[in-house]
Chains A and B, each alone.
Chain A
Amino acid sequence: MEFSDLMPAIAGMTWKHLVMIGVGLTLIYLAIKKNYEPTLLLPMGFGAILANIPYSAVLTQEDSVIKGALDVFFDAGIATEVFPLLIFIAIGAMIDFSPLFQRPILLLFGAAAQFGIFVTMVLATLFGFSIFEAASIGIIGAADGPTSIIVANIMAPELLGPISVAAYSYMALVPIIQPPIIRLLTSKKERLMRMQSDTNKKVSKTTLVMFPILITVLAGLIAPSSLPLIGFLMFGNLIRECGVLNSLSKSAQNELANLVTLLLGITIASTMQAEQFVRLDTIFILGLGIFAFVFDTAGGVLFAKLMNLFLPEDKKVNPMVGACGISAFPMSARVIHGMGRKEDPPNYLLMPAISTNVGGQIGSVIVGGLILLLVPLFAG
């Protein structure tokens, strides 16, 4: 009997497997020690270790008749898009859209701060990625994990692992990535700007119930491909706002979100196998993901500066708030509020920042839907 028959896992271990186990340990370290998106990075890190022990039975092996558990989860939850869509229901149930009604114009930043997605998509094609791969890489900039997973799964399933890792890791790095970009693009005077917000404005229940329904119908009529994304988000929100499903709303916000996040994280790890992950492309994807994030932030800030040229004095927007147009909610809003208070302690930017951040959540989902519509349409 040979050693490889007795200890196949040890005999089959390569340097690539060891690199991936190191990646898994790093993700677990970031989750526990740095508190970076622990709900996702910890399951992903542990899953990466599980998936990179040679002949691991959590993955389907060639000579086995039993399917590996991670492959079963993947086929059931990711390939079918069920897990990310369930996460959208949970997110929808968590979002309060009423801040948007205080100053609806801030919704436009949810569009401007998607700029980096498209710039990155163009850039990625110069690195030799196909248009489908480039679009999937660009969407990392949306700072929206479920949207990134859905787009990558449809357009470039072979890149799903690195794209998911990049999307969730960078979401956690918003407090590190955004402030230097914002400081670079704004003057001290601009950062000190105060914004008037109508915090006393109340929104009727009918309005809050009508909003998710109307948005779903309109989005569906214009871009039906966006319906799974926007529809499930708005369904979750309708459960929250209708007032007769409080128990379901709480379940969606807590139990559903927790359970699906747990399964999503560990299942994504099945795409982090050494042969697929340890490649030069992965480094490009991680780099381009940062680029998308930076340009999304810049897009929001510069759009605010542009808008200020046309807005009356009392309606001007602090350009820092434009950076909240990304989807990382509520982290981005908190970061901007913190930056505002650091410059000028009595300057409370939280409400406009939250409004913009909510707009960013809608914007990222719309961009996901548009990419799913436009790329196959033009690329054939």
Chain B
Amino acid sequence: MNEAFMLALKISGIGLAGVFLFMTIFYFVIIGIDKLFPHEDDLKEKTHPQLNDTNNNNS
């Protein structure tokens, strides 16, 4: 096996691990900011669940 092949194998291993690392970090970023800055509707539902229940009962 030539030198370039061994180098390519090494870079591929690190590169693939690197992409997964990035994506895992981005996954936690998405989870985090979605929790920190929820949509107004979700926030209302959490702080006033009875409002939502009432709406559901009425419908």
Considering only residues 115-133 of chain A, those with a C-beta below 8 Å from chain B are 115, 117-119, 121-122, 124-126, 129-131
Q: Which residues of B contact A91 (CB under 8 A)?
A: none
Q: Which residues of A contact B21 (CB under 8 A)?
A: 222
Minimum Cβ distance to chain A for residue B21 (Å): 8
Considering only residues 306-339 of chain A, those with a C-beta below 8 Å from chain B are none
For chain B, the count of residues having a C-beta within 8 Å of the partner chain is 34
For chain A, the count of residues having a C-beta within 8 Å of the partner chain is 48
Q: Is the CB of A104 within 8 A of B18?
A: no
Q: Does A19 contact B (CB under 8 A)?
A: no
Minimum Cβ distance to chain A for residue B7 (Å): 5
Q: Does A134 contact B (CB under 8 A)?
A: yes
Q: Does A214 contact B (CB under 8 A)?
A: yes
Interface secondary structure of B, over-half rule: helix
**Residues of chain B at the chain A interface (Cβ within 8 Å):** 2, 4-5, 7-12, 14-16, 18-27, 29-31, 33-34, 36-42
Q: How far is the CA of A131 from the CA of B10 in the complex (A)?
A: 11
Q: Which residues of A contact B23 (CB under 8 A)?
A: 107-108, 110-111, 359, 362-363, 366
Q: Does A23 contact B (CB under 8 A)?
A: no
Question: Chain B: which residue is nearest A217 at the CB level?
Answer: B29
Q: Is the CB of B18 within 8 A of A122?
A: no
Q: Which residues of B contact A222 (CB under 8 A)?
A: 21-22, 25
Q: Does A32 contact B (CB under 8 A)?
A: no
Q: Does A353 contact B (CB under 8 A)?
A: no
Q: Which residues of B contact A114 (CB under 8 A)?
A: 16, 19
Which of A122, A131, A211, A367 meets B19, CB within 8 Å? A367
Q: Which residues of B contact A111 (CB under 8 A)?
A: 16, 19-20, 22-23
Q: Is the CB of A118 within 8 A of B16?
A: yes
Q: Which residues of B contact A134 (CB under 8 A)?
A: 4, 8
Q: Does A248 contact B (CB under 8 A)?
A: no
Which 7 A/B pairs are nearest by Cβ-Cβ distance? A118-B12, A202-B39, A206-B37, A125-B4, A111-B19, A111-B23, A104-B30
Minimum Cβ distance to chain A for residue B14 (Å): 6
Q: Is the CB of B34 within 8 A of A215?
A: no
Q: Does A247 contact B (CB under 8 A)?
A: no
Q: Is the CB of A122 within 8 A of B9?
A: yes
Q: Which residues of A contact B9 (CB under 8 A)?
A: 122
